[in-house]
Amino acid sequence: MAPPEGHISPWRYLATFVGIIAVLYSVVFFTGDSEPTPELGIDLQGGTRVTLTARTPDGSEPTPEQLEQARQIIDERVNGLGVSGAEVVQEGANLIITVPGEEGEQARTLGQTAKLYFRKVVGQPVPVQPPAPPGAPAAPGGGQPPPGGDVAPAPDPGGSQPQGSPPQGLPVPVAPQQAVDPDVAAEIARARELRQSTDPQQQQQALQQLDCRASDPLRGNADPDLPLVTCNQDGTAKYLLEPAFMTGEQVANATSGMRQNTSAYVVNLDFTNRGGDIWGQWTAANVGQLAGIVLDGEVVSAPEVQGANPTGRSEISGQFTQAEAQELANVLKYGSLPLSFESSESQTVSPTLGLASLQAGLLAGAVGLAVVCVYCLFYYRMLGLLTILSLVLSGAVVYAVLVLLGRWIGFTLDLAGVAGFIVAIGITADSFVVFFERLKDEIREGRTFRSAVPHGWVRARRTILAGDTVSFLAAVVLYVLAVGEVKGFAFTLGMATVLDLIVVFLVTHPLTVVISQSKVLSRPSLSGLGAVQRMGAARMGPTGRAAVKGA
């Protein structure tokens, strides 16, 4: 037979909580390669702040829509790169990226345009001989491709890989030209006139004159509808490329990983349905040719097409580290920016101010918590001691969850998050007060301590659930609508509210039941309920029934 409502087996609930604590801390201490401490935000551990200045093709001010779209894409790149605790905010025509810890170098690459095009290589790449004699000509057909990155279709039963001129009727998207002022625009125009000419003699001249060590004005500004003379990413070879036959927008997904049976890291490209059709037609028509995969005007790789590849997959390989492969995959996956950006400022942020603020906040929180504990002990006695124990156990759960969230999703604790936890302590204490005051109400009605606990819990439970639900919904709304550090406040407030329910249901209520069932612990002198019990006894009267009409 099921027990009456409110009556529970307290040790079962307590055992469940002990199991949760054991699992959490087992995962904390026996998994992960980092110290069992929460990850800290930029205001607590310092980091890097990078300012990206937007550029438009005609030098005009970028529109708010362009800046917001760029901010969203860069924010996605931040998350994709696993840069924990970073934030991207708009400030005028600039985007400000703040990155905690030692990950500042990653932030400097987040503003690249990442325009990806597929172009046919004319002839063979021209190796750059270091040191190259000044003015020495380089024949486009001489030399072999330098070692390094390769972009190739994923192996299939036919062993296909790319090459050739674009199939008829396939549209080629036009990349926006980018310039910050008239001088830069003139430099880009001169580079196009020389390096994107359709005249074969001009193309050979461009191959001879191109310096792969110099800054490239066509980086991200090359016209995909015209031929292109350019270098590979490491500057070891020059290429003459035909107009683009496919754009990176036809790449559906990009992932990094290790090639099977090797230790080489690669980036795998999956094409859209249309992209797969274009790729299959192009590879079928260009067996034996070279396909150049061009990222921001530089050749990432130029594999030879060994056969038709209708599978709609390709692979970028080379001397990548794991981090480099992951970075390239995420940049390609999250798309091109609507604007070009240059890193106008990069500075190191000191954690000194944040740590001082944290120490002051923790000191204030500790003083306030101590006052609350003293008041609870004075007012509730044994139940006040139970309140303190519940707060300590709640803190233990919160700490373990913070460590695990930092490892799994890159969550970082900043000053706003600390404020969220301090507010949540008040919410947790409110839950205890609601339960204990409801318990006193039951005793005033004439019930014994032991009988009042299940009845008081049934009535208090609704209030506790309603209050925590409102707090949690408020935190969710704030998290969805807010930006920056306010999100951290909302996240910690919502998380602590949920953990409050776990502690109240699995610890506070069961321990109150244990105290009420103990003859020693339930004595009025220890429980602090003596005055309330005398009021209840007076209300019941000598007959054991309520002495007040209507009670």
How far apart are the C-alpha atoms of 147 and 126, rounded to whole Å? 12
User: Is residue 203 helix, strand or coil?
Assistant: helix
296, 290 contact by CB (below 8 A): no
Residue type, 324: E
Domain ranges of the chain: 16-38+352-540, 46-110, 116-331
User: Which class for 120: exposed (0-12), middle (13-18), buried (19 or more C-beta within 10 A)?
Assistant: buried
Whether the CB-CB separation of 541 and 42 falls below 8 Å is answered with no
Q: What secondary structure letter does DSSP report for 144?
A: -
Fold adopted by 46-110: Alpha-Beta Plaits (3.30.70)
Report how far residue 500's alpha carbon sits from residue 255's, in angstroms, rounded to the nearest whole number.
Answer: 39
Residues 291, 315 contacting (CB under 8 angstroms):
no
pLDDT tens for the chain, 551 residues long, are: 445 555 778 899 999 999 999 999 999 988 876 778 887 776 777 777 788 887 765 667 788 888 887 887 777 766 655 445 567 888 877 888 877 766 555 666 666 666 778 899 998 889 887 654 445 444 443 334 443 344 454 544 333 343 333 333 333 333 333 334 566 678 888 888 889 999 999 999 988 888 888 888 887 778 899 999 999 878 889 999 999 999 888 888 888 888 877 888 888 888 888 888 898 889 889 888 888 888 778 887 787 887 777 777 777 766 778 877 876 777 667 666 766 677 666 666 666 556 677 777 778 778 878 887 888 888 888 888 888 888 889 889 989 998 888 888 777 787 888 888 888 888 888 888 899 888 888 888 888 888 889 989 998 999 999 999 999 999 999 988 876 678 888 888 999 899 888 999 999 999 999 988 888 887 777 766 666 666 656 665 554 554 444 43
Report the sign of the C-alpha dihedral through residues 500, 501, 503, 507, in that order: positive
Q: Residue 88: which of 68, 109, 105 has the closest Cα?
A: 68
State the DSSP code for 413. B
End-to-end CA gap in the chain: 30
Residue 54 structure tokens:
């937007």
Domain 16-38+352-540 = CATH 2.30.29.30: no
d(CA 427, CA 382): 21
Q: Please, what CATH class does the domain formed by 116-331 belong to?
A: alpha beta
Using H for helix, E for strand and C for coil, what is the string for 322-385? HHHHHHHHHHHHCCCCCCEEEEEEEEEECCHHHHHHHHHHHHHHHHHHHHHHHHHHHHHCHHHH
Contact 267, 150 (CB under 8 A): no
Max Cα distance, the chain (Å): 117
Evaluate whether 16-38+352-540 and 46-110 have a shared fold.
no
